Chains A and B, each alone.
Chain A
Amino acid sequence: MTPPLYIALRFLTHRKRALLLSLSGVVFGVAIFICTQAQTQGFSRYFIESNIGSNGALVVRSRFRPRYEPLMVAAKNKASTGRRVYFEGITNPNEIMRVSRQFPDVISCSPVLRGNVSARAGFENATVDLYGIDPALHARTTDILHQLIDGSFGDFRNNTSAIIIGSRLAELLQTSVGDTVQLLAPNGEYWRFNVAAIARAGIGSIDSTRIYSHAKVAQALLQQPSGASMIIYKLRDRNRAPVLASRFETLFQHNALSWQEREESTLQLFLTLRMSVAITVSLIILLAGFGIFNVLTMSVLAKIKEIAILRSMGYRRRDISAIFLWQGALIAAAGSVLGCLLGALMTWGVSHIPIRLRGLLYTNYFLVTWDWRHYAFATLLALLAVFIASYVPARRAAELPPVVTIRGSR
């Protein structure tokens, strides 16, 4: 143990009240930071997981209409690029899927034929988002198997007149597994389907509108010439979705959308919320730092005689400085460890608080995320705040001329 560390420890442990005050500020600051980040990111991550689990990490949809720029003369100082126009649907989905499967980032892909229709069950009506899917491919590409809360995927797969219906839509239409739901075709004809299963994605906008049927049946019902209006992808690394989307656009000449772009507004909302909470909680840590600054400044004033003694015995300026920096570092280290433990305990406690959310997200308990980065960032923030708080008193202590103190004590 170095002499400054030894002396710092002794100084700290002999001022228990000040130590407790400084320590509690760091502990609570770190703990609250971790707990609030776990909550806000918990909701955000649940939304992302559910969204990607239902809609894929990447979607390829409408084909670009070709441009004829080579035939046009651009106006001076004006970019010739305008908004892109599309042809509805995918051209040659099987070929696009075959090529995209060659990409190492792609785990699987599934074609979807999508259209809006009216649904009727008993006396209830609703406008629904019909997803015509290939059951086997869709099960590989999405989390639909895990989303089923009633019924069986096998019953859906083996019966072309079967559908899977979103949980909130099922409540709205007052239907359950085994009931009949009628979907209105564009020609005014009602098609009858059996509810084989009920799915809960956990996102209100999906659960309250979506119905899955077999792709061929959906194509006939919607009277669509194209077999797919989009292809959804499951990726090995979801964060590579924007890069892959860009490559797919160039390669397939179809519009490709990553989940980050698709859910940009909601993600921004979550991010803003997280930032806002992080800033608020960081202020607590800064306040703790301010408390430590006060405690250490008072300590320098109280130990002015001891500093002079140490200097007279051969301790260098940087040794004196180190004594006060060590005190800050010890408070920060102990405060961070205890804060992380308390933060984990608080996060666990919060995750067991029952709430009944049925809006944007579906949950019965607070959603939290266990992420080591929250702990690392909170610790880093505490260390930084305490270092800044300790630096000025430490520097001041080091600059004190010992002879002035000794003369003053005579």
Chain B
Amino acid sequence: MNSEVCLSCEGVERYLGEEEERVHALRGVSLEVEAGSVHGVVGPSGCGKSSLLYILGLLDTPDAGRVAIETEAVSHLSDDELAQKRNKFIGFIFQFHFLMEDFTAQENVMIPMRKLGQLSDAQMRDRAAELLDGVGLGDKLRRPSRHLSGGEQQRVAIARALANDPRVILADEPTGNLDTANSGRAFELLQNLVHERGKALLLATHNPAIAEACDWIHEMKDGRIIDSQLRTTGS
């Protein structure tokens, strides 16, 4: 892979559960995600896709191995420093959108910006409006998130993931809860963002059509990446 690697891991091991229920979820996984590319992770349920995403997203810590953002290893970072990295460098999109129900679409998008604290309230509002407009929700800024449809909620989640202009977007089955039309639209949106703005996208998916559209496909089985394929050469 080229030198613009913005997220990588090497020899990552992860065990989940306790005693008899202990599962070896990741077995020496190594991966590099470079800017401007879409990486798809595919594999059967329980193969370790989500576990890998959570570790790369600094939400979970590996039992062994190394995770790095750009060239900086993160294993020595404190919980606060990891939180800061998540806020600044990583945007998460979950299968079940995970919006704050009491907040409007615009307020949801502003939450990561508030934490980063680099913009004024007015600037945050403008940026949130711009991002929501970008995902086709410019007319629903002030609508409470619980009053949006599933597809709209997922688009708000995409806008929120982009709020702090992160270098890496991690998506755990982002279209898994959407119908085919919405699913295609959401993926297209993400793909355009990656290619136009030079982001890195790593997504776990069961959807073969989406996997086929990725720049890289990593196939996982029993906690291992058993195959990695470069699909396009555009990135």
Contact = CB atoms under 8 A, between A and B. Distances in A.
B205 interface: no
A11 B87 contact: no
B86 A314 contact: yes
B72 interface: no
Nearest to A306: B100
A274 to B, nearest CB: 45
A358 interface: no
A314 B115 contact: yes
B40 interface: no
A55 to B, nearest CB: 65
Interface string B31-61: 0000000000000000000100010010110
Main secondary structure of the interface of A (DSSP, over half): helix
Interface in B83-132: 83-88, 92, 94-96, 98-103, 107, 111-112, 114-117
A312 B60 CA distance: 10
Interface residues of B, number: 33
A306 B100 CA distance: 6
Interface string A1-32: 00100110011001000000000000000000
Contacts, number: 75
A165 B92 CA distance: 89
Interface stretch (A131-139, A152-160, A315-323): A315-323
Interface stretch (A38-46, A91-99, A369-377, A401-409): A401-409
Interface in A304-344: 305-306, 308-319
Contacts of B83: 311, 314-317, 319
Contact of B115 (A3, A11, A306, A407): A3
Given A306-B100, A312-B92, A403 B112 contact: no
A78 interface: no
Interface in A369-410: 402-403, 406-407, 409-410
B80 interface: yes
Nearest to B96: A409
A281 B100 CA distance: 39
A312 B86 contact: yes
Q: A3, A317, A402: which has the most chain B beta carbons within 10 Å?
A: A3
Contact of B86 (A6, A10, A11, A313): A313
Nearest to A310: B111
A14 B98 contact: no
B50 A316 contact: no
B19 interface: no
Interface string A259-279: 000000000000000000000
B139 interface: no
Given A3-B115, A310-B111, A317 B98 contact: no
Nearest to A309: B98
Given A6-B114, A311-B59, A316-B83, A305 B102 contact: no
Interface of A: 3, 6-7, 10-11, 14, 305-306, 308-319, 402-403, 406-407, 409-410
Interface of B: 50, 54, 57, 59-60, 79-80, 83-88, 92, 94-96, 98-103, 107, 111-112, 114-117, 160, 164, 172
Given A6-B114, A10-B103, A313-B160, 4 more contacts: A3-B115, A316-B79, A316-B80, A410-B50
14 contacts: A6-B114, A7-B111, A10-B107, A309-B98, A311-B59, A311-B83, A313-B160, A314-B86, A314-B164, A316-B84, A317-B80, A319-B83, A406-B172, A409-B98
